[in-house]
Structure 1
Amino acid sequence: MKQLRMAAIGVLAVSWYPPGMKDENGEPTDDIVPLILEVAHKYDVKVTFHIEPYEGRDERSMFNNVKYIIQNYGEHPAFYRQSTNTGKFLPLFYVYDSYLLNSEQWAKLLKHTGSSSIRDTLYDGIFIALLVEEKHKTDIVMGGFDGVYTYFATNGFSYGSTHGNWKSIKAFCEDNNLLFIPSVGPGYVDTSIRPWNFRNTRNRINGRYYEMALRSALEAGADIVSITSFNEWHEGTQIEMAIPKTSQAVYLDYLPHKPAVYLDITRKWSKIFRSERKIPPISA
């Protein structure tokens, strides 16, 4: 959390599974949320939830899990809420692999007329869909989402993650009253876990790859910028402080810079974004 503050990052998105659930490689995440919130508050960082595609995820379980999150964590001072253009102050949720449910299912949850609608209830929120393929744009609108994010740190890997598409995606979002949240990253290498995927490696180029992504997000008119990632080492997207260390895994080096180079770059661009958007500086 101290490093996040050093980098002028305002919100931490926590990968979240419902209580007792996890992915095939990790541990349940809900148990640690109270500690994350407490330490985040200490450093004036807010916390939002990145809801993973857990087994059995559908419109009804999503309603129940959003309700669980808000009931258990919504009153904590570190819980992130964002103002809307209608004057509401709502929680924001990223929904990973949202395309796994069709637009009809999402509409039941996210449209006012849906049979399981969460709108205008105590558990309403700002729901951000993952935009991977161009065809997903129609599904996102039909499903009733409030915005899109692109997640992947590899420029060119998907339609959504391709920097050259961001201006047209922003225009689409403006036409449909959606938030545009491009995701930037410092580089990408996952060959330690996916040896066949070397074609998607993106070298850090001494920080230039990260700055190129940040500049593209600014020029496209991003409403929010998400960073993939703070500490996802197995995909080589981490920006946390690091020093050279011998390892069997393959990591893109931070050299010749100091350990905090990617935090420094983030802070620099946070200042640029705030200046361009005329956003008041984060309070210390």
Structure 2
Amino acid sequence: MRRRGFLAGAAALIATPWRALARTRRETLAFHYGWYAPNQGWGVSADGDRNHPNQPADGLYDSRDPAVIARQISQARAAGITGFITSWDGEANPRDQVLAALVADAPDGFSITAYVESSGGSPARLTERLNALYRRFETAPAWLRLAGRPCIFVFDRVLQEIGEDGWTAARAAHTTTTGGGFACVGTANNLDEIAARRALFDAVHIYSVQFETDGWWVGFGVRARRWMRRWVRAQDGLAVTTATVLPGYDDRRLDDRTGNRPTTPRREGRTFRLMLEAARVARPDWILIVSWNEWLEATEIEPSLENGSRELGTLHNP
């Protein structure tokens, strides 16, 4: 218990300076996935049908293709998206290559950051990963910044793997080694988690919105506004406040997702429009979109054969 209290205190000391700094510009950021390749990411379910409900408008692609990266950034910018939060789980793998390419190719005004999805197995390994990432991109012009500092997002799996104490120890070591380190936006998927994790991160974000929107329809817009206001208000005092929106959700084509899965129908685009309206009314600093291209969970707003560029049009013409 004494060790836990010490670590919690250390986390508060780490986080406090970030909150004291001036707020950064408003952002509209989309979670981006770079795991698609000819033999990866696009697959079939046990019944032989594809495992992603919708299909890219321009066909299946390789995330490392420079033409694909250029097209995705161009489409996102045209819709008013200001940056990508791209999935990352360590160096020297395809997702790391996509991250580097996005940073290199991002034009002025479009930011890139990493969504750190795993610890690597231990607090020490996570520290090594964060230190290496920081050294590579600390001064990159395109890297997303929070209150003037390079910023990363941290997925819930990191805490699941090493716990809050492990995360606190890894971050403290990273901060000491680098002389400041990353500002960190951690996952907190409900109000209780916000309260519990405020001291662990500079800011927080929800990712698993589908558990909030599952089954919603009657009064969807009113309920979304009420929930968004509570969510943003609970983050008051953090370096930035965030609100997360999604166009829909359906992961039932994935064989490893069993049981009564949450689903959120798109309702011909109304779901995204109402969620976006609710987020804007709540006035967070950053609006987060799940997702640019998570095709396996059908949360993508990247143009598809089924939905065209409808959600991008909603962003562009609020």
Answer whether TM exceeds 0.5 for this pair: yes
Q: 1 CA distance for matches of 2:196 and 2:317?
A: 36
| Conserved? CA contact 2:116–2:155, under 8 Å | yes
Q: Which has the higher contact order (CA 8 A, sep 6+)?
A: 2
Does residue 103 of structure 1 match 2:164?
Answer: yes
1:135 match: secondary structure = helix
Structure 2 unmatched ranges of 5 or more: 1-72, 215-222
Matched residue SS, 2:150 = strand
Q: How many residue pairs were aligned? A: 234
- Does the Cα contact within 8 Å between 2:240 and 2:285 map onto a contact in 1? yes
* Higher share in helix: 2
Alignment partners' CA distance in 2, 1:219 and 1:91: 28
Name which of 260, 266, 270 aligns with 1:208. Answer: 270
Q: What do residues 177-224 of structure 1 show as CA deviations (whole Å, max 9, x unaligned)?
A: 342222211111111105646651211111110011112212222110
Distance in 2 separating the partners of 1:45 and 1:196 = 38
1:8 to 2:74 alignment: no
RMSD of aligned residue pairs (Cα, Å): 2.6
Partner of 1:125: 182
Letter of the 2:194 counterpart: K
Task: Give the alignment of 1:36-47 within 5 angstroms.
Answer: 36-41=102-107, 44-47=109-112
Map 1:131-210 → 2, pairs under 5 A: 131-143=188-200, 145-154=201-210, 156=212, 163=224, 164-174=226-236, 176-194=237-255, 196=258, 199-210=261-272
What code does the residue aligned with 2:135 have? Q
When normalised by structure 1's length, the TM-score is 0.73
Going from structure 1 to structure 2, the CA distance change for 1:74 and 1:202 (only over 3 Å counts) comes to: same
Cα contact 1:99–1:130 (8 A) shared by 2: no
Secondary structure, in 3 states, of the residue corresponding to 1:29?
Answer: helix
In structure 2, how many angstroms separate the alpha carbons of the residues matched to 1:177 and 1:242?
A: 36
Note the 1:40-59 alignment, pairs <5 A.
Answer: 40-41=106-107, 44-58=109-123
Q: Detail structure 1 runs of 4+ shifted over 6 Å in the superposition.
A: none
Q: Give CA-to-partner distance per residue, 1:108-159, whole Å, 9 cap, x none.
A: 355xxx5x2616944522211111243322331232x11111112425269x
Matched residue, 1:29? 95
Aligned residue type for 1:131:
A
* Aligned equivalents of 1:156, 1:132: Cα separation in 2: 9
Cα distance per residue 1:158-180 (max 9 Å; x no partner): 9xxx9443322322211x43422
- Given that 1:70 and 1:123 are in contact with CA atoms closer than 8 Å, whether structure 2 keeps it comes out as no
Q: Contact between 1:186 and 1:204, CA under 8 Å: does it hold in 2? A: yes
Distance (whole Å) between structure 1 residues aligned to residue 265 and residue 174 of structure 2:
44
Q: Distance in 2 between matches of 1:151 and 1:263?
A: 20
**Letter in structure 2 aligned against 1:201:** T
Could you tell me which amino acid in structure 2 is paired with residue 239 of structure 1?
A: I
Alignment partners' CA distance in 2, 1:119 and 1:55: 20
Q: 80, 85, 96: which one pairs with 2:144?
A: 80
Cα deviation code 1:225-283 (max 9, x no counterpart): 1111111111001111122xxxxxxxxx42xxxx22111112234xxxxxxxxxxxxxx
SS in 2 for 1:129: strand
| Residue from 275, 293, 297 that aligns with 1:231 | 293
Counterpart Cα distance in 2 of 1:17 and 1:63: 13
8 Å contact from structure 2 (residues 203, 239) kept in 1: yes
Matched with 1:266 is: 315
Shift in Å, 1:57: 4.3
Unaligned 5+ runs, structure 1? 22-27, 244-252, 270-284
Residues 210 and 55 (structure 1), Cα distance of their counterparts in 2 relative to 1, 3 Å cut = same
